[in-house]
Amino acid sequence: MLPLQRKQELIAYLADKGAATLKELSLRFGVSEMTIRRDLNMLQRENVIRRSHGGAVYQGEQTQIERKEPAIPDKEASNRAIKGRLAAYAARHFVRSGDTVALENGTTVSRMAEHLDHVEELTLLTNGMDTFNLFRPYANARRTLISSGGILREKSGTLVGPEAENFFARYHADTLFLSALGFTPEAGFTDPNLLDTQVKKMMIRSARKVVMLLDSSKFGQRFLSPVASLQDINMLVTDQGLSRENRAVIEESGVELHIV
């Protein structure tokens, strides 16, 4: 198990149990108590847990942090028409012939792949299986599709881990199209899984410009792992369900807001 995978499962285990001893966690995850102690020290610094004598107590706020990641069919069914509209708008307005673009695998961003046939020359970088499959019919000698390597995370349909992170460290995109499962002004854009967010952070570093696609139902939700802050993105594309309060926060940040 990769350290980030262990960290993710450790948080979920403590959130479920409420508390656990070092010995219990060592047996549960098949690593030494010293390794578990290092993991707990890191989680304490992130204010996820509180160390106790010989163990740890979970202190995440269940009302604010969503512990369960929705299944892909549930994600796809949610606000499908709005997501399609956002994807089509972003593809038509922000992708030009000759661009190198990076697309992640969210159910909004991946659908952009179906709306890029108007671009004669394009290089597309992705770690998403859905994005790859949707763009594949449009790939040709002038529309190049490059996929990262990595470990397949079945629940999100993404390739994650060091190979995926190193892939995006080696390439540079003109524009990254990104999404998340939640946004609050305090936490920024968040997702449930650490392995996915680590790759997304590397994608952000590799791009000259970052466009966030987020339907309005995601505002007010907060998940475990930060993806980005408003300062990390250049544009945000959303729908007319955006509240007045969130609109003010985004506009005051200097992010270019597009309401479709």
Q: For position 252, which CATH number holds? A: 3.40.50.1360
Q: Is 255 within 8 Å of 235 (Cβ atoms)? A: yes
Mean pLDDT of 230-249: 94
Q: Please, what is the Cα angle at 6 between 2 and 10, to 5 degrees?
A: 175
Shared domain check, 94 and 138: yes
In this structure, the answer to whether residues 175 and 249 fall within a common structural domain is yes
- Given a cut of 60, is residue 66 above it in pLDDT? no
Domain that holds residue 19: 3-58
* 89 shares a domain with 30: no
Q: What angle do CA 75, 226, 249 make, to 5 degrees?
A: 90
Axis crossing angle, helix 194-206 with helix 3-17, rounded to the nearest 10 = 130
Residue 220 confidence (pLDDT) above 50:
yes
What is the pLDDT averaged over residues 185-200?
Answer: 92
Would residue 65 count as lying in a domain?
Answer: no
The reply to whether 166 falls in a domain is yes
pTM: 0.75
| pLDDT beyond 50 at 65 | no
| Residue 57 near residue 49 (C-beta atoms within 8 A) | yes
Task: Copy the structure tokens of residue 76.
Answer: 């796809």
Residues 79 and 11 both lie in one domain = no
- The predicted pLDDT at position 58 comes to 81
- Shared-domain flag, residues 53 and 106: no
**Burial (0-12, 13-18, 19+ Cβ within 10 Å), 116:** buried
Task: Supply the pLDDT for residue 166.
Answer: 96
Tell me the per-residue pLDDT of 115-144, one tens digit each, with 9 for 90 and over: 998 999 999 999 999 999 999 999 999 999
Mean per-residue pLDDT, 53-61: 76
**Domain tally for the chain?**
2
In a domain, 66, yes or no: no
What integer is the mean pLDDT of 235-244? 94
Distance CA 190, CA 90 (A): 21
pLDDT at 73: 60
Single-letter amino acid code for the residue at 181: L
